[in-house]
Structure 1
Amino acid sequence: MPYTYLRRHLPFWISILIGIAIWEIAGRSTSQAFMVPFSETIVTLWQLIKSGEFGRQLLESAKLFVTGFVLALAVGMPLGLLLARVRFLRIGVEPYIMALYATPMVALIPFILSLMGFGFAPKVLVVFLFAVFPVLYNTVEGARSIKPELIEVAKSFRSSEWALWREVMLPYTLPYTMTGVRQSIGRALVGMIAAEFFLSSTGLGQLIMTASQNFDTGGVFASIFVIGLIGVGLMRLGLKIEQHFVRWRQG
């Protein structure tokens, strides 16, 4: 078992070690006003954790991220299935979905600010807008790719509309939805930081802004490093869930 694990994950860990080495060398070869070594980043991160400030700000960002992301899932997946099932509705709404998917959501933040002001709700809306469209778009495409024969077989057995959704559309579409979820994780993290930058300053966004204003490059890199770790961890978790549902559908 250990040999199998080592063989499977060795390239990954070698790549991580090489990346850390390059970061350390580059940080020591340039001015610390622009970049700090990996070792100093970890030291700064540990100091922030010990002070308690990092934990408080991480919790604030986590609440914002989870709220906006869960709302995106709760809206994106059912709406995607509905649009795939109701053709005339999809034809009418699809141009708007594509336009909003392609729109840089940062450009909407001033409008959201003027409409809703400062506070938690407008920041949640920003995260939601960043995250919902990959889930929605991939769910629609997944549901549209269902073979018509499957629908016909279900109807021949007199399946109700709810049974059709539960037993055919949902299992078939879940892998596509999970692909959208993985894409939306990164977008939601970007939306979280953008909201904390441009709306009320809180969370990891506030840490980055404060560190930048104080020319604390170590603090900036420490916050960005943690955001990157969270993003990679969540995306790998999403990949595992996606692979599980792919096997479920194939089985």
Structure 2
Amino acid sequence: MLDIVQLHADISPRMSVDIAHFMAHKGQKVGILGPNGCGKSSFIKAMLQFIPAKSHSYFIDGKDAHQMSRRELAEYLALVPQHIPELAFSARYFIELACPNPTRKAVDDILSQLGLLHLADSQLDQLSGGERQQIYLARALAQQPQILLLDEPTNHLDVANQLCMLDTIETLPQTCILVLHDINLAARYCDYVYMMKQGRLVCHGKPNAIMTSENIQAVFGLTMITDRHPKADCPRFTYQF
């Protein structure tokens, strides 16, 4: 479980992130929603100690994250970033770098799990953005973390691969914290959702409880038509043009 109380990070002279309380339970799929520039990615970076942040308490699996080094933190948290660099490595070698005990079988098992074994010997800089995104997920899993932090994991993916990626994430045993922009995908795939605006949490809860037209209007400034998804137990949103 991850539990953060009163986290503060200054992002720029005009922007800060202030999180009163954020929690993610074991195995839960937690979405973070909000408009561009509201601090979602900065919050993820603060969890990883990539940017300076202060918090009253920050515990992972009952252990004080304030006392952890970057190496120790990497045993608990793994990141799938939003922007994927083009590196001149093979996918296999790139994943091996993250494995605690790298073997060909270990890497092949992860790639097979994600349906990516055919990309094992491909150079990252020759893959599409979507393929690199999926290889980064494989690398994150190779770290054997308890918690995956996924910053816009559907970025660069076409619609079919977005659903494939989220279907895969849904089946993972790890706690997954996902920054998402698609309201309907968050409603369908997340067990719990936090909605952010201007660096602060506006509301949080299960999608059926807090993903309402009123809250979408308050956070995104959008007027939405809301009904129920015909096949999934979640709300469905349609833009009112």
Could you state the TM-score of these two structures normalised by the residue count of structure 1? 0.23
Q: In proportion to residue count, which structure has more strand?
A: 2
Q: In proportion to residue count, which structure has more helix?
A: 1
Could you state the TM-score of these two structures normalised by the residue count of structure 2? 0.23
Larger Rg: 1
